[in-house]
A and B are shown apart, each in its own frame.
Chain A
Amino acid sequence: MALKETVSRLPVRLFRPKEDARSATSTSAFWVMVRKEFSDHVRSWRFVILMTIILLACIGSIYSAITALRSGNGQAGESSEFLFLQIFTLSDGTLPNFIGFVTFLGPLMGIALGFDAVNAERSKGTLSRLISQPIYRDDFLNAKFVSTLLIIAVSIFSIGLLVMGVGLIVIGFPPTPEEFWRVLLFLITAIIYVGFWLNVSILFSVRFRQATTSALAGISLWIFFSVFYGMILNLIAKGAAPATDSGAEVVMGYQKLMQALNRFSPSELFNEANTTLLMPNVRSLGPLAMEQVVGALPSPLPLGQSILLVWPHLTGMLAATMICFGLSYLLFMRQEIRSRS
């Protein structure tokens, strides 16, 4: 962050009474930093490259969804009712659907935008100079987090709304309010999900002095969850699988165990949450007993019930995000900041 500019925007402090000035300047200083960070991000090559990758992926997924819609691949029963949502969930098989791309590339975005948040400033020596300015120390970290989250929110919303726009052109009729709210909730969930990875990478950037180390740590965690975690789960599943002739309760318990293990992966949480939000016909995420299905009408859930169904997922993601932020906050505040460290 350019120090000169930051300081030049802080003239107010000198002419204000002390108590008043403290709060006023802190908020204004914070927002100045946020604005600066934001503009830095937007102009960086990193962001351009990321956006290009994500845009290309989105175009691919939309194309695949549209071809699937046109060929009538959608489930016959529900296609007429929630056609608009199928743009996000449908795929003709050649490319993953939109959710799939967000699940896979969202972490990359979060990690790429956050891995050098603190340690780059530190290694460039700008951190100590910034902190020596009359600003609160935590405002620095908060500004880093808020500005990057804003970038993420803006890009995810623009991509999501773009997809909706394309859907409007292709399908030809507007979404119902419920569909709109569902898409909006999906986008907010995506922001929380990417925010989680952002916080993880900020945590690494606070913890590790070298930007490359924190980048590697973040990427390895991402690859672990998106590739290796599934393999490990498969191994566990094979080991824990009950005998073929075991009773329903044993099989049920096994299924529930595997699902619980699966849900440790943030991408799985995100996936389940969005499947439920974007497919109103999903009524349950776990294994179903026959007694539960008897008499059930195949009707879509109301929005409130869908949210209640994935509320644990949302809670988990939000809590994990906040805990990561709290950890990095704690670590950062307890760190020593020297002029050249």
Chain B
Amino acid sequence: MRKACRQAGILALIAAILWTGGSALFPAAAWAASETELYTPYTAVDAAPGESVSYNVELINNSDETVTSNLGFQNANAQWTHELTAGGRVVKQLAVKPGSSQSLSLRLDVPLEVERGEYQFTLTAGEARLPLRVSVAEKGTFTSKLEVEQSNMEGHSDSTFTFSAILTNQTAEEQTYALTASADPGWDIRFNSGGSSVTSVTVEPNTNQTLSVEVLPPDQVKAGTYQIPIMAANNATKAETTLEAVITGAYGIGLTTADERLNADIKAGGTRSLQLTVTNTGTAKLEDISLTAQTPSDWEVTFEPKTIRSLEPGKQESVQAVIKSSEQSLPGDYALSLSAQSAQKTADAAIRVAVKSSSLWGWIGILIIAAVALGIYGLFRKYGRR
């Protein structure tokens, strides 16, 4: 009973001291640690350079009264920045009802240029302290980065190689990069961003931009592996990488007549056969070459064979083309276009066909004149010389 009385007396005393503004009489530190408390579940995290670490912190009031605490942040590293927000605003002071808690957010930005190691921070709210540890696993670079997911591509000489590159700005400022490629002469390199061709891009700090790089090999490219260094640079920073295009071979097809003459004579309504030569001028095999012709009306061109199954590089194949002209065609020149098509390449041969009208009527005319002359000769014989 005495003990209970003593306890009550102490409590009353404490209440009296508090009531009269006891903080002036006693050092508050001795009490505050238990009064308010800062809490966050993840007190030690890993972060990469340039990342932001967010903490959800709760300020818990263990006392019976409303506690108003000033918020503070002890930061030994000058490059690290932080922000304390609650309810969408930056807060400097927080009041917590008795027995409840108030949450606030802490955002901690890992600087881009940072040594690897462990960093200590302390969040304070009044007397409450919350030590935080951030481990930086890798060294921050404070540079730009150009990365290509698939830097090696294979194709034939006519194909377009499209690489996808990601340009990351890891500097603190917005950067405008000039995009350049130092390829061999004849190679055509185009940078595309957002569907349009670009020569420079602007990237916000700590963001990236996807670029597609189109690489067009030159016409006469030989098979082989080609390195194409590309670079995004300005006077402050630069990033580079190397693309690799593997050319398996070139497709080429040629069509001409066997004697290289691109004109022909034909009788109206008659036929004429042309010996054509289809050549694989490329370095890759051609498959399924079909032969077609664009003719004047009512003309016919038949090919023998109609299609060539496959043609090895450098090889030739002869094709017989039989041209049949229309009965109605006029004497004079007509244009005839023959073409050999494979899936990859097409070759045309424009042939000028000179139509000659049938000389039948010429002979008939000569016959008529001969008949008339014979008649006159008969008259001479009958009536002359007497």
Contact = CB atoms under 8 A, between A and B. Distances in A.
B384 A137 contact: yes
A319 interface: yes
Given A295-B295, A296-B296, A312 B361 contact: yes
B20 interface: no
B386 A291 contact: no
Contact of B372 (A295, A304, A323, A329): A323
Contacts of B326: 291-292
Contact of B333 (A284, A299, A333): A299
A314 B376 CA distance: 18
B333 A308 contact: no
B305 interface: no
Contacts of B357: 305, 308-309
Interface in B343-373: 352, 354, 356-357, 359, 361-362, 365-366, 368-369, 372-373
B348 to A, nearest CB: 15
Contact of B330 (A296, A318, A323, A333): A296
A308 B332 CA distance: 12
Contacts of A304: 356
B19 interface: no
B376 A322 contact: yes
Contacts of B332: 283, 296-297, 299-301, 305
Contacts of B375: 326
Given A315-B365, A319-B368, A326-B375, A291 B328 contact: yes
Interface string A274-297: 000000000110001111111111
A5 interface: no
A287 to B, nearest CB: 12
Given A291-B298, A315-B368, A322-B373, A329 B328 contact: no
A138 interface: yes
A228 interface: no
Given A137-B386, A315-B368, A315-B369, A292 B297 contact: yes
B336 to A, nearest CB: 7
A138 B335 contact: no
Nearest to A307: B362
A322 B298 CA distance: 41
Contacts of B376: 322, 325-326, 329
A118 B331 CA distance: 46
A309 B361 CA distance: 9
A334 interface: yes
A315 B367 CA distance: 9
A311 interface: yes
B320 interface: no
B330 A297 contact: no
A297 B328 contact: no
A72 B52 CA distance: 84
A80 B73 CA distance: 95
Given A136-B385, A308-B357, A312-B361, A297 B379 contact: no
A315 B370 CA distance: 10
Contacts of B362: 308, 311
A326 B329 CA distance: 38
Contacts of B380: 138, 329
B334 interface: yes
A297 B356 CA distance: 14
B298 A333 contact: no
Contacts of A302: 354
Query: Which of B296, B330, B385 has the most chain A CB atoms inside 10 A of its CB?
Result: B330
A330 interface: yes
Contacts of A288: 330
B328 A314 contact: no
Nearest to A326: B376
Ranked nearest first, the 9 interchain pairs of A and B with the lowest CB-CB distance are A295-B296, A315-B365, A333-B383, A291-B297, A138-B384, A297-B333, A305-B331, A322-B372, A294-B297
Interface of A: 136-138, 283-284, 288-297, 299-302, 304-305, 308-309, 311-312, 314-315, 318-319, 322-323, 325-326, 329-330, 333-334
19 contacts: A136-B386, A138-B385, A283-B331, A290-B297, A293-B330, A294-B296, A296-B329, A305-B356, A305-B357, A308-B331, A308-B357, A308-B361, A308-B362, A311-B365, A315-B366, A319-B369, A329-B383, A333-B379, A333-B384
Given A291-B328, A295-B336, A315-B369, 20 more contacts: A136-B384, A136-B386, A138-B385, A284-B331, A288-B330, A290-B297, A292-B328, A296-B332, A296-B335, A297-B334, A297-B352, A305-B332, A309-B331, A309-B357, A311-B362, A318-B372, A319-B369, A326-B372, A326-B379, A333-B383
